[in-house]
Structure 1
Amino acid sequence: MNFTKSSSTCRKAREWLINNKLPFQEINLNKATLSHKEIYHILSLTEAGTDDIVSKRAASFQDIAYTFEDLSLTDAVSMIKQNISLLRIPLIVDESHIQVGFNEDDVRKFVPRPARKVKKGLLDKKLYEIHLEKLQEQ
């Protein structure tokens, strides 16, 4: 997970990962950088390339006189590497998934499918029990 400590959204994402017992490695973008290989991997998981991961509201983006569409992929990756604050955060990545920002429903894709089925089964059972209790009260 790529994050900055000052972001409340990053703190929510971190808390969610911990509460769901998912192992993760934090990369504080205020103190660390990403390799070209890591940036290429992140881009490979996006649907819209740099549009998905670059924050247009970032001050560093406003300082750039040209758009990412004018850059080659190699130059765009180098630009992100040099200006890591261009990235939207939190950025949660594994081998085959990416989550930009934090949305509790969307981030569930990082929970292994068998665990999601077990959790859903337990929830369905609890809802069924509540429904039965209400029927008995009537």
Structure 2
Amino acid sequence: MIHLYTTTSCVSCRKAKAWLEEHQIDYIERNLSYEPITEDEIKNILSMTEKGTDEIISTRSKIPQNLNIEIDALSLQGLYDLIKNHPFILKRPIIIQDRKIMQIGYKEEEIRAFIPRKLRTFTMTEQEVIGNH
């Protein structure tokens, strides 16, 4: 199952939702504006990154500056608490499928990874047939 972490005012989140719906892919949405993210969810997201906080913390966010916090100086617990208390510090959307595939942000060329394999194969085969005629 796909989990989609969004916020209300996020344009990229709306694009991701529209793309999933257009491709008839089921998902569970968690709007962080109304449903707080849990520490376990944060741990799961971090565990799926290659570059740690650089992948998930928005560099455009003014939260660290306003709170006079240096992200890299935080303990893990401090980071979890910061994200739980200020979820808008996260890049969005965050799309996770079965703890195997994760995408941060909306990238149209990468979101295709969430199309089920058999459907991707069918679509590719169909395109090859059309291309040969």
Partner residue, 2:42: 39
How far 1:48 sits from its partner (Å)? 0.7
Share of identical aligned residues, percent? 32
Which structure would you say has the larger RCO, counting Cα contacts within 8 Å and 6 or more residues apart? Answer: 2
* AA in 1 matched with 2:91: R
Report the count of equivalent residues: 129
Partner residue, 2:79: 76
Residue of 110, 120, 130 corresponding to 1:126: 130
TM-score by length of 1: 0.86
How far 1:40 sits from its partner (Å)? 0.4
Q: Does 1:54 align with 2:57?
A: yes
The C-alpha deviation readout for 1:14-73, integer Å capped at 9, x for no partner, is 010011111111111111111100110011111111110111211223313232211122
The answer to whether the Cα contact below 8 Å between 2:37 and 2:84 also exists between their aligned partners in 1 is yes
Structure 2 gap ranges (5+):
none
* AA in 1 matched with 2:26: P
Give 1 or 2 for the bigger CA radius of gyration.
1
CA distance in 1, matches of 2:123, 2:100: 22
Partner residue, 1:135: none
Residue of 115, 118, 125 corresponding to 1:111: 115
Residue of 84, 95, 100 corresponding to 1:96: 100
CA distance in 1, matches of 2:101, 2:51: 14
CA distance in 1, matches of 2:114, 2:26: 10
Q: Does 1:9 align with 2:23?
A: no
Q: Give the match's secondary structure for 1:51.
A: helix
TM-score by length of 2: 0.89
The answer to whether the Cα contact below 8 Å between 1:88 and 1:101 also exists between their aligned partners in 2 is yes
CA distance in 2, matches of 1:24, 1:14: 9
The answer to whether the Cα contact below 8 Å between 1:89 and 1:100 also exists between their aligned partners in 2 is yes
CA distance in 2, matches of 1:61, 1:117: 44
* AA in 2 matched with 1:109: A
